[in-house]
Structure 1
């Protein structure tokens, strides 16, 4: 049996009543967190520019709301714009082992598009969970090799998740769901060249995956057929986008209905590239030791191969990021911000020219290192060489916010309310918390 058949069988047989309560609860937490990050980004330049572009495109009569705005767009464009907002601040969640930001795709798809086609909160919740399960398993099976090849894992895996979620919303049969998975391999795309200048293509990967997933589900619903062997064939997705000999395809169906990948998703405490979070934790730990900038001669960080290309290389450019978005992918600059201020939040990027921050960042170098916990965890390991000759070691094995070191429910609510207040008042924000926690009973969704 092909893996597409196994995964399709899992999806079409999925029954919300038999999904564990903790899985449904975590799904709601992820949706709420994603909604908050999107609201916080609703006035970001790239989000407003995307909205301008969508307004100029031909649209259908069906409308959906732009999150954080008192206006609507054609439902697919609205969902795409909301997805761009969800990823724009790099504050959205991550399945660390899969290296995947699926909620930024699936929450807008399910809440904006989903309610326009099914009017059922139960089906929306099921679609979100099913999409995450399939997308995460593809990311895990890839063993980070999509990134090694220069592709954005979220862009590749995300279209599979979006196709599955859309297929649930449209009630695809097993055969149709198999075809949806087969089509997803041909719709997958997204390269990491955005790292060269901190540009907007990364957020468009999210919108593109969402849109392609919807299209795919409709093509499959109309009984167009696709390859069964999208995971095994001569030109399968792991060969096309990854390094097939390093992949483990057994992860695709490992523990289906027993191991729930949505429980392995980490919620970010810091608005930055997730790969840097363990090192931000290390910088905060150095500060908690009472150290000052002037006490430290240099810091050597030990970084895994995949994160290096995102947060360390080229190190000369990382020392002085030109934009807030570039700063979010600079390990030394992020560490310097955290060490200087004792926190890292949405306001941290307002001034990129602070003398103390730039001086501290330039003390930081890195060496390639293989961590035992990566990529399940995004750890941080460093040696700080002090001017008095002492050497201090910091090892963060499980980054804060990881599912094995999670944010508390109070911390999650605090993050959501702080994010949401960038666009709406607290009364509306608290009403959204109630809507998401009672999602199964909802027949529509408005901010």
Structure 2
């Protein structure tokens, strides 16, 4: 039965905020933070063009004749806007280095959709406006996740929040860039709800589907905005407690619709987005920080370590306790491998997860030193406690919270640039990399960001990372 909209629904209220918010009103520090996340995500996507998943998706799209003027980042290939959002979303998430603590991986969803929307924008898009669109995309994606009960409840129900909630962030960013009205943006949110989906089933056999989730969410959000722009209406009651609503369908056991609007414009979820220093699941990061700090503070060499004991929450143990490193996806979700590789190389960039390193006998020997203990008394988002036991009999324990890359412990500007340059140089030449990084540093001053996608195109096909 059709319901008359007598008062603004949650989707309309959220859409009104996103379509009407003035870019100049962003809180202090948000422009710099947004530029950091934009730079980081674009670097992940440009470098991620070397991944097996991104190359397979690009090849598939080319066989379908999906050419156009929107570049597949890190390649010389042009695609349609929707296909570019899909392909670049996959590339951005393929190396597990994209940002986190949003919806979870907000950048890999929001940025590909936002840049693809630029290809459909008939008007100039100023740098400050582009930044606002990205921030609002992050904000809505995270608020939707919180309305579902938060990361772990949604996760434990089997849903991958990057895919289920990221679609809304992509829709908002694209809607803002396309200058959609409140009603059109609400329709885009409604469409996005029907395009949402993504299961954690990939965790059991390390399938490549996880990387595809980010691309599909980016494509779904962009498509939702384009449909709204074309005049196709979307459901305005999508967040209400009614039959068929998103929250009721995806979190039937408990949700909090009020989280969508609570403190809107005053309390920002974007503040909590984090940039990853290591090419492994975010849940492994504080363990690396603790090992590095203990080795530094107590002058411990890797050869002196007898065991690495990690007490961690049950959910994290289930997610990252595996020891199968037969492929890139499984290795990046393995805490024992992350520890062993970190001890072996002193870092945990994408090179540490190469085919050769995954097969290295020395790394596999170090994995035997890693002992995990699930602790049911730990909160789901608690950081692990790491104990280094030395061959001398001495032992040292530490828990690091927040881990490196979190808002309370951010990467330095030099660390971020080094990470971004390393990833971009996998597909772009040195001059193009340095020019892009320099330009992005002043993104808020650009008069028209529509030139940005072209700066992400490479001169030749990327090599395949193994």
TM-score, scaled to structure 1: 0.90
Report the counterpart of residue 121 of structure 1 in structure 2.
126
Separation in 2, partners of 1:263, 1:398:
14
* Contact in 2 for aligned 1:281/1:380 (Cα 8 Å): no
Q: Which runs of 5+ in 2 are unaligned?
A: 1-7, 456-466
Separation in 2, partners of 1:172, 1:29:
26
Separation in 1, partners of 2:373, 2:46:
35
Report the counterpart of residue 205 of structure 1 in structure 2.
213
* Contact in 1 for aligned 2:103/2:165 (Cα 8 Å): no
Separation in 2, partners of 1:99, 1:327:
23
Q: 1:218 to 1:294 in 2, by over 3 A?
A: closer
Aligned pairs for 1:13-412 within 5 A: 13-59=20-66, 62-95=68-101, 98-117=102-121, 118-122=123-127, 123-141=129-147, 142-144=149-151, 145-221=153-229, 222-242=231-251, 244-245=253-254, 247-288=255-296, 289-292=298-301, 295-312=304-321, 318-350=322-354, 351-363=357-369, 364-369=371-376, 371=378, 375=381, 379-412=383-416
* Contact in 1 for aligned 2:323/2:334 (Cα 8 Å): yes
Tell me by how many angstroms 1:159 deviates. Answer: 0.6
Q: 1:294 to 1:69 in 2, by over 3 A?
A: closer
Report the counterpart of residue 315 of structure 1 in structure 2.
none
* Contact in 2 for aligned 1:106/1:131 (Cα 8 Å): yes
* Contact in 2 for aligned 1:151/1:191 (Cα 8 Å): yes
Tell me by how many angstroms 1:286 deviates. Answer: 3.9
Q: Find the residue that maps to 1:63 and give its secondary structure.
A: strand
Q: Which is worse superposed, 222-231 or 39-48?
A: 222-231
Q: 1:174 to 1:57 in 2, by over 3 A?
A: same
Tell me by how many angstroms 1:279 deviates. Answer: 1.3
Q: Which is worse superposed, 398-407 or 345-354?
A: 345-354
Tell me by how many angstroms 1:14 deviates. Answer: 0.9
Tell me by how many angstroms 1:35 deviates. Answer: 0.9
The size of the alignment, in residue pairs, is 435
Separation in 1, partners of 2:146, 2:315:
14
Q: 1:115 to 1:370 in 2, by over 3 A?
A: farther
Separation in 2, partners of 1:214, 1:99:
17
Q: 1:292 to 1:19 in 2, by over 3 A?
A: closer
Report the counterpart of residue 5 of structure 2 in structure 1.
none
Q: Find the residue that maps to 1:396 and give its secondary structure.
A: coil
* Contact in 1 for aligned 2:174/2:225 (Cα 8 Å): yes
* Contact in 2 for aligned 1:152/1:190 (Cα 8 Å): yes
Tell me by how many angstroms 1:102 deviates. Answer: 1.1
Q: Which runs of 5+ in 1 are unaligned?
A: 313-317
